[in-house]
């Protein structure tokens, strides 16, 4: 199988935790050919979507883990599978990339995750497609409505719809002395829509990342436990990742959501679950594979490649 991967610069990859690296290792071990490219190397020329693709060979040297050949222009349709693994931010350049990849699909390319689905599933707002699993939530840019929401619930989380890694996430109490300035800043004086959710105290036990691969859950979640004094479990915010078996509720959420996401073309998804509640559906570049594998010996990347081989057969 010829596998193309759109990713961040190779020199920026943290091999000890990066999920794309784990997938490449698993695919390489099975003899699949790897080609890599950055976002700007995917272009439309003379009606065809092509990429400046670099053939990559994996090495066993921890310091110098790869070599790449000189790049060559290749149509994305020439590959058996194309993985979109560019990390956020999900900005207009990311959106333009999904347009190009959607054109590539029309020309015969197989893209994972499907470009339209990446574009359609805002990682915060898409939880509203599954209201039975969503905590009490308000999405608005009206400060008065957010104040009413705070008065009702007393303790809330306020976050932007385009954030990542826990950035700009605020926990607000009814009598917070900084309430006005937080609302003004977060809504940009009423010009930016944000999400408010009732605070879930089970965050103390971790913000669980549940990986779905082709609609099926990995049997272990990565519970990201906040450090002392924090309410955010994100690893980027200093949280500690602890792998744990899925709970009955976790399986219930995965069983209800997984097949629907699979139908949309979302091959790899990271569900964020706090307590019994679904808080995010991550579709751009979900991670957590290596942390789960190292703590449980469950080969998450191997499961990914298994399912990818089946999808492309």
Which residues are known to be catalytic?
Answer: 124, 159, 209, 224, 232, 272, 280, 282
Q: Could you report how far apart the first and last alpha carbons of the chain are, in Å?
A: 9
Instruction: Map tokens 């065809």 to a residue.
Output: 48
The span from the CA of 119 to the CA of 105, in Å, is 14
H or E stretch including 146?
helix 143-153
Two tokens, residue 60: 């066993």
- In contact, 119 and 91? CB cutoff 8 Å: no
H or E stretch including 259?
helix 248-263
Following CA atoms 67, 72, 77, 80 in sequence, which dihedral angle do they give, to the nearest 10 degrees? -20
Instruction: Map tokens 């209800």 to a residue.
Output: 256
The DSSP bridge pattern shows strands 2-6 and 81-84 to be: parallel
Nearest alpha-carbon partner for 304 in 213, 224, 174, 225: 213
């Amino acid at each position: 199988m010829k596998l193309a991967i759109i990713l961040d610069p190779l020199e920026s990859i943290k091999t000890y935790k990066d999920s794309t690296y784990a997938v490449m290792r698993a695919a390489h071990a099975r003899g699949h050919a790897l080609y890599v490219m950055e976002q700007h190397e995917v272009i439309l020329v003379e009606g065809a979507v092509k990429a400046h693709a670099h053939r990559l060979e994996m090495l066993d040297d921890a310091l110098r883990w790869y070599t790449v050949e000189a790049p060559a222009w290749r149509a994305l349709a020439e590959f058996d599978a194309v993985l979109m693994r560019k990390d956020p931010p999900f900005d207009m350049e990311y959106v333009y990339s999904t347009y190009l990849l959607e054109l590539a699909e029309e020309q015969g390319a197989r893209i994972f995750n499907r470009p339209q689905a990446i574009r359609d599933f805002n990682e915060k707002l898409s939880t509203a497609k599954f209201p039975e699993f969503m905590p009490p939530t308000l999405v608005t840019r009206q400060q008065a409505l957010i104040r009413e929401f705070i008065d009702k619930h007393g303790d809330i989380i306020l976050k932007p719809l385009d954030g990542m890694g826990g950035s700009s996430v605020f926990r607000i109490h009814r009598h917070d002395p900084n309430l006005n300035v937080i609302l003004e800043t977060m809504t940009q004086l009423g010009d930016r829509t944000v999400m408010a959710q009732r605070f879930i105290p089970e965050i103390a036990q971790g913000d669980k990342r549940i990986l779905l691969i082709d609609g099926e859950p990995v049997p272990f979640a990565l519970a990201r436990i906040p450090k002392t004094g924090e309410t955010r479990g994100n690893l980027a915010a200093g949280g500690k990742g602890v792998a744990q078996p899925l709970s009955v509720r976790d399986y219930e959420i995965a069983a209800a959501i997984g097949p629907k996401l699979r139908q949309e073309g979302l091959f790899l998804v990271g569900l964020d679950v706090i307590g019994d509640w679904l808080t995010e559906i991550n579709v751009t570049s979900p991670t957590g594979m290596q942390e789960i594998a190292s703590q449980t010996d469950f080969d998450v990347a191997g499961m990914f490649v298994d399912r990818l081989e089946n999808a492309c057969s």
